[in-house]
Amino acid sequence: MLFPKQMSEVELIMPSKDLVAVTRTLSGYGVFHQVDSAYLGLESLGPNAWQDKAGAYSALERRIQAIMQNVGLQEEYPAKAEIESVVDMDAVRPEVDRIEEEVKEVSDQLSGERKRLELLESQLRQLEPIADVDVEVGMLKKSSFMHSILGVVPSANISRLRTSLLRVPHVFFILREDAQKPVVWILGPRSNSDVLERAAKSAYLNPLSLPDEFSGTPEQITAMLRKEIESAKQKISVFEADLARLGGSYKSELQKLLWDVHISRVMADAIVRFGQLRHTYVVVGWVPTADLEDLTSRLKEASREILIETMATSRSGHHAQVPVALTQNKWLKPIQMLVGTYGHPSYGELDPTLLMAFTFPLLYGAMFGDLGQGLVMLVLGVLMHNKIIMKSMQSLGLLIAYCGFSAAVFGYLYGSIFGFEGHLIEEYLHFHFEPSWLSPMHDILSVLSIAIDAGIVILTLGFLLGMFNNIRSRDWAHLLFGHSGVAAFLFYICFLAVVFGGFFGSTALAPKIALAIYSLPLPFSTLMIVFGVLVMLSGFLRNMVEGHTLIEGKGVGGFAMFLVQSVMDLVETLISMLSNTLSFIRVGAFAVAHGGLSLAIFALAGEEPDAGFWITIVIGNLFIIGFEGLIVGIQTMRLHYYEILGKFFHGGGMQFEPLNLKSAQEKT
């Protein structure tokens, strides 16, 4: 739960004769994340015909899909689909050819007739706007002085076409308004025919194409076209019925073919990425260690001669290439979503989901502490999670429920219920309800100070987790001199003692933890300078530990530039430590603001507990839940993304994507 699933690297060596059986097992079980063996440099060690096969299966699959589409069949697999073996292309292709030929003959006729119908209908639509004009259409072409263009133009181009003709005399009619294909008629002097033609052509105007066999007035041509359309429609119905009949008779055969070719294609795609030796194949990949034993026994059933070498991968060291399978937990899904927005954990790295599942509601509740409003959010969240309201926001519902619960707990601690606090509860709600801890409105400085203390604890935890991650990955350079390494952490502790314990020590805002650290008998000022120098030279020291060039880019500006950059790094570190720590003041500030906002609502409601008073309180509470609830959510997210996760979480992990035929089977 704290880390991605333990993964094992698996290397399989199998004889060529068992290739398909092993591939079937790997693809069918759904736990094997394949690595392209080409990376091992094995691809050139033997001839690989599978590349061509994979291409051929893929092409054949597309052809079968096209046939099914033509005969109106859904892309479905047989009800009882077994994962058998790769099919023999020579056996399958003639079957596909035969069906395709039969279907193609009818579908080509259908397609031809549809195109004819489309043309006839288009001609009819073009003529409709001028149906009542009692002139022969052919006459327009024969005019001696006028140039006429009648045609269909993309509707988006009409305005531009008009603009382009502004400088030549013309008349422009839109004969038929149509969202897609309006019919327009442009008429101008024959002397400008070249300009008119260029404008029409560049506006993609397709001139009306009336067949020569139709002559007469638009009305006469329209009648003829209607007759032809009727005849075309009848033919289309006959062809469609023929195709439906073919679909019915070939349904099961096509489904079986599609399934066989599909699994063959998936397996061939996998085999293409195997390494090939002369008589054996090498397969490399990753398997969750928990599934390894089961997979091994299945593979041994598939091939007696298979050699299986497994290496459990420790979480230490760098493992950029290890896929990361996270433990799925429906109760943590909304938190995983939040973490996912920031990054995908890498292997060996602590998955911050569990930590965030604790800190997110905690910080939210501390900022939005109200028993009544928290319970409303809890109920709202439960309703959303159970798809009773806002069905598409199931995960968000769970997050709202968690935050609502936390807000209710803090509301109990703060003695706040629907904004009523202290004497207001007795006065208006007629029962006694005291804060079990403190009231933010009455202990403002204490709340702010506690918030900074909480921030120090969380940031310290962040530093420690960052160091923990570095120890696990044996990244000693970053452990000692990284941004959240030992030197930076000790510098932070000294910084807390000197700045918050010493400098601000006498103020009411001084955090208790900083004061406690300051009271230790240690020379913090001196230590701060020492660790400050280490932080300043951290880049240099990291390079030294890692054995890299000591000063990066020393050609640019030389040593002086390096020193300036180091000083700037130290200043930046100081500023970020100060801002990161003070950033948590917002937790206390929002707790206080929450009380303040409630007071504002009471000021609007007045003192008399009449209907107006209660309506204002209800609307005010809804406003607080909707508006402040949202803002607090944003602040909580911000604290996590900027102040907490950055300390120890890098992300950038590769997602675990196993070979899987099951998903295809599920379609059945």
Partner 1 sequence: MASGVSGYAAISTRVRAMYSDLLAPQEMTRLGDSPDLPALVSSLKSTPYGKYLSGLKDTDMTPRRVILQIRNRLADSYSSVVQQAPEQTRPLIKQLFRYFEVGNLKAVLRSIQTVSSWNSDIAAWDRVREVLFPFGTFASIPAQAMVESGSVASAVDLLHGSPYEATMSFAMKRFSAEQNLFPLEVALDLAYWRHLWGEVKTLKGKDREMGGKLIGSLLDLNNLMWAIRYRIYHNLSEEELINYTLPFGYRVRDEDVRAIAAGADIASIVSRIYPNIPDVNALLDHPQSGLPKLEHLLKQQVMRQCVSAFIGYPFHIGLPLAFLLLSDFEIQDLVVLIEAKSSKLKDEEFRPLLLKTTLIQ
Enter the tokens of residue 487.
Answer: 């030197």
Rule CB under 8 A: choose which of 1, 2, 16, 39 binds partner 1: 39
Which of 631, 660, 664, 665 touches partner 1 (CB under 8 A)? 631
Residue 445 Cβ, how far from partner 1 at the closest point, in Å? 29
| DSSP state string for 488-542 | HHHHHHHHIIIIIIIISTTSTT--HHHHHHHTSSS-HHHHHHHHHHHHHTHHHHH
- Long-range contacts of residues 51-57, Cβ cutoff 8 Å, at least 24 apart: 51/272, 53/86, 53/89, 53/268, 54/265, 54/268, 54/269, 54/271, 54/272, 56/89, 57/86, 57/89, 57/261, 57/264, 57/265, 57/268
Residue 184 and residue 173 in contact, taking contact as beta carbons nearer than 8 Å: yes
User: How would you class 127 by CB atoms within 10 Å of its CB: exposed for 0-12, middle for 13-18, buried for 19 or more?
Assistant: buried
Q: Which of 320, 564, 575, 615 binds partner 1 (CB under 8 A)?
A: 320
Q: What share of the chain is helix, strand, coil (3-state, %, to 5)?
A: 65, 10, 30
Residues 556-595 that bind partner 1 (CB under 8 A): 556
Those residues whose C-beta lies under 8 Å from the C-beta of residue 41, and which sit 6 or more positions away, are none
- Tokens, residue 166: 């502004």
| Contact with partner 1 (CB under 8 A) among 60, 203, 306, 425 | 203
- Supply the minimum distance, in Å, between the C-beta of residue 555 and partner 1: 8
CB of 410 to partner 1, least distance (A): 22
What's the rounded Cα separation, in Å, for the pair 392 and 390? 6
Nearest-approach distance from CB 122 to partner 1, in angstroms: 11
As measured in angstroms, the least distance from the Cβ of 570 to partner 1 is 19
- Other CB atoms within 10 A of residue 118 CB: 11
> Can you read off the two tokens belonging to residue 482?
């990284």
Nearer to partner 1, 159 or 316 (CB): 159
Considering only 36, 76, 95, 121, the residue that binds partner 1 (CB under 8 A) is 36
Q: Which of 321, 386, 519, 655 binds partner 1 (CB under 8 A)?
A: 321
Type of residue at 351: D
Q: Which stretch binds partner 1 (CB under 8 A): 200-208, 370-378, 491-499, 511-519?
A: 200-208
Quick one: 358 or 642, whose CB is closer to partner 1? 642
- Using CB under 8 A, pick the residue from 180, 328, 506, 663 that binds partner 1: 180
CB of 454 to partner 1, least distance (A): 21
Residue 204 sits in the site that holds partner 1 (CB under 8 A): yes
Task: Examine residue 553 and tell whether it contacts partner 1 (CB under 8 A).
Answer: yes
Of 98, 141, 201, 474, which one interacts with partner 1 (CB under 8 A)?
A: 201
Nearer to partner 1, 342 or 428 (CB): 342
The CB-of-504 to partner 1 minimum distance in angstroms stands at 29
Q: Does 115 bind partner 1 (CB under 8 A)?
A: no
Q: Which is nearer to partner 1, 227 or 638 (CB)?
A: 638
- Which residues from 332-351 bind partner 1, rule CB under 8 A? 341-342
Calpha distance 172→177 (Å, rounded): 13
In the list 198, 227, 300, 554, the residue contacting partner 1 (rule: CB under 8 A) is 198
Q: Quick check: 47 binds partner 1 (CB under 8 A)?
A: no
89 binds partner 1 (CB under 8 A): no
Of residues 20 and 158, the one with the C-beta less far from partner 1: 158
SS3 labels along 10-76: EEEEEEHHHHHHHHHHHHHHCCCEEECHHHHCCCCCCCCCHHHHHHHHHHHHHHHHHHHHHCCCCCC
Number of residues that bind partner 1 (CB under 8 A): 40
Stretch that binds partner 1, among 87-95, 102-110, 121-129, 191-199 (CB under 8 A): 191-199
The label of the residue with tokens 């002097």 reads 189
Residue 654, classified by CB atoms within 10 Å of its CB into exposed (0-12), middle (13-18) or buried (19+), is middle
Per CB under 8 A, the list member of 137, 183, 199, 350 interacting with partner 1 is 199
Nearer to partner 1, 512 or 650 (CB): 650
Nearer to partner 1, 65 or 296 (CB): 65
Q: How far is the CB of 149 from partner 1 (least distance, A)?
A: 13
Dig out the tokens for 626 from the structure: 């909707």
Give one DSSP letter per residue of 142-192, joined into a string.
G-SSEEEEEEE--GGGHHHHHHHTTTS--EEEEEE--SS--EEEEEEEGGG
Residue 485 backbone phi and psi in degrees, to 5: -90, -170
Pairing mode of beta strands 280-288, 416-417: unpaired
Dmax over Cα atoms in the chain, in whole Å? 111
Rounded Cα–Cα distance for residues 488 and 646 (Å): 14
Binding to partner 1 by CB under 8 A, coded x per residue (else -) over 646-665, reads ------x-x-----------
Q: Pull the structure tokens for residue 176.
A: 């038929």
According to the binding rule CB under 8 A, does residue 633 interact with partner 1? yes
**206 is a contact residue toward partner 1 (CB under 8 A):** yes
Q: Is 429 a binder of partner 1 (CB under 8 A)?
A: no
- Smallest distance, partner 1 to C-beta of residue 161, A: 6
Taking CB under 8 A as the binding criterion, the range among 192-200, 280-288, 479-487, 519-527 that sits at the site for partner 1 is: 192-200
Q: Give the other-Cβ count within 10 Å of 198's Cβ.
A: 11
Q: Which residues contact 164 (CB under 8 A, 6 or more apart)?
A: 199, 202, 203
What residues numbered 132-171 form the site for partner 1, per CB under 8 A?
Answer: 153-154, 156-157, 159-161, 163-165, 167
**Residue 332 Cβ, how far from partner 1 at the closest point, in Å?**
18
Query: Rule CB under 8 A: which residues touch partner 1?
Result: 36, 38-39, 62, 153-154, 156-157, 159-161, 163-165, 167, 180, 195, 198-199, 201-204, 206, 320-321, 341-342, 553, 556, 630-631, 633-634, 637-638, 641-642, 652, 654
